Amino acid sequence: MFKPGDKVICINADFSMYPNIFDVFKQLPKLNEIYTVRERQYIQGMGYRILLEEIHNPPVYIDMVKGMVEPAFTANRFALLTDPVDVKHEEEVEEEIFA
């Protein structure tokens, strides 16, 4: 599960099933964009959700928590991003080993 500071990539930016999405969210993640996890939340009945450093939405009333909170995104809309520098380094090491 993601933790604050993790780099993630958006793998599902389809919000078409929520016609009133902009009543709650002013900003949404974009497909294939990279984001930094700001906070991880667990809401009973809703599962894990994350807030992103690059996206801030105004608080809304959420009945499940009985209060005003910043709406978060379902964690399964994102995948953990492997550091491209590390991947490049690993590829170079593999080339040296198999050369």
What whole-number distance in Å separates Cα of residue 28 and Cα of residue 93? 38
Per residue in 20-70, pLDDT (tens digit) is 999 889 999 999 999 999 999 887 777 899 999 999 999 998 887 788 989
Beta bridge partners of 37: 52
As a residue count, the chain comes to 99
Stated pTM of the model = 0.77
DSSP character at residue 11: S
